[in-house]
A and B are shown apart, each in its own frame.
Chain A
Amino acid sequence: MDEEIKIIEVRKAPKEAYMIFGFPDVGLVGVIAASHLITELGLTEIAYIESKLLPPVTVLHEGLPHSPIRVYGNHQIMLAVSEIPLQEELVHPVTRKLIDWGREKEVKLMISLSGIPVPGRQDLEELKVFAAASTGETLKMIQEKGVEILMEGYMVGPQAVMLQYCATLKLPAVTLLSQCFFNYPDPEAAAKVLDLLANIIGVKVDVSKLIEKGEEIRIKARDIMRRTQQELAKMGKSQEFDIPLYIR
């Protein structure tokens, strides 16, 4: 199945960059954060995914068709972003393909941006960001940055596949999860996760516009959120609320 997915490079991809993933998930944290990062850092498209396995969808921007899953970048960052929710059966092959491609580009750290849903999110004044890593060393590096670790629990979705696959390949990878709404776009959570990302990769990212435009983003993101909800339900996303029986 992986062979049926192609990454078409439209520009030379940087070597030894950070590779960031922003896919539709709870609160659309990853996608909102990725979209802001593209604008703020002026990232340009360097590659896109082509596959017959993807739904028959093209995204029109200024009258021209674009693959819904694209990679943006500059000299130090590569950012994989999807404008459509990944169907359950595509999560593994698409995520693995991107990781294999990133590996060829000698990526120094893979980072996925996402959220962790909290009931009563509207009552939280301060959002926490948690992290999990693919290796012990990466986990230690993240802890040294003062990030709270997600010690026990289930993770469902592209970030789960990314972390597990990178662990198998012994590649350094981190998943950053901000507390967020389950079913509503959450720009505030995206801002939180970007603050931490900036700290980890040493890049300045101004999130003030993201906060200012929060309501506008929530209106614009309704339809993609609705479709994401349907895919998350199929994936069994609510399992993230479960308490695991950890077998040592």
Chain B
Amino acid sequence: MSIRKRRSIFDVIEEYFESVEQWMDRIRESLIEGPSWDCKSCTIKPLSDITVASDKVIVTVDLPYAEESTIKVLPIDKDMIEVTAKMRRKISFDDFGITHHKGEFHTFKCQVYIPVPVYIDKMEVKFKKGILVIELPRKREYEIPIK
């Protein structure tokens, strides 16, 4: 029988505040809008979407002009993945008719927060019609017995 180390109430409170802070950061990030591009890193933030199904989480990312062989999906935390992809051609502000900014972009980059526990190591990735589909099986942490 394994002996579980009891955490102090202070640890529990600290963990709680940490999780609230993380949650606030995410809310803040979604409320404060920045540009969808970054000239320094020459990256564009692609559109992404997430669907939480009963058995899996499906993340999609819109990657037009992406070179399929360069697409990378990396878990950067237990609840966060990062998608990067090189473009087949560089895009510049001139292409959009914009003259008050200068810069060109050759890479897509975005981070997607996964709101429920998943097996990140079991993710399946597909790419079709410029849409990246990432499927992550959901973790079942516990089961409630039916009496």
Q: Which residues of A does B touch, CB under 8 Å?
A: 119, 121-123, 181-185, 214-216, 218-220, 222-223, 225-226
Contact = CB atoms under 8 A, between A and B. Distances in A.
Interface stretch (B13-21, B41-49, B70-78, B111-119): B41-49
A121 B64 CA distance: 15
A219 B133 contact: no
B64 A223 contact: no
Between B47, B96, B131, the greatest number of chain A beta carbons within 10 A of the residue's beta carbon is seen for: B47
30 contacts: A119-B51, A121-B131, A122-B60, A122-B128, A122-B131, A123-B128, A181-B62, A181-B131, A182-B49, A183-B47, A183-B62, A184-B47, A184-B49, A184-B60, A184-B62, A184-B131, A214-B64, A215-B64, A215-B65, A215-B130, A216-B65, A216-B95, A218-B62, A218-B64, A219-B44, A219-B64, A220-B96, A222-B44, A223-B36, A225-B47
Interface of B: 36, 44-47, 49, 51, 60, 62, 64-65, 91, 95-96, 128-131, 133
Contacts of B130: 215, 218
Contacts of A219: 44, 64-65, 91
Between A222, A225, A226, the greatest number of chain B beta carbons within 10 A of the residue's beta carbon is seen for: A222
A84 to B, nearest CB: 15
Contacts of A184: 47, 49, 60, 62, 131
Nearest to A119: B51
Contact of A226 (B36, B65, B91, B129): B36
A122 B64 contact: no
Between A121, A122, A181, A185, the greatest number of chain B beta carbons within 10 A of the residue's beta carbon is seen for: A122
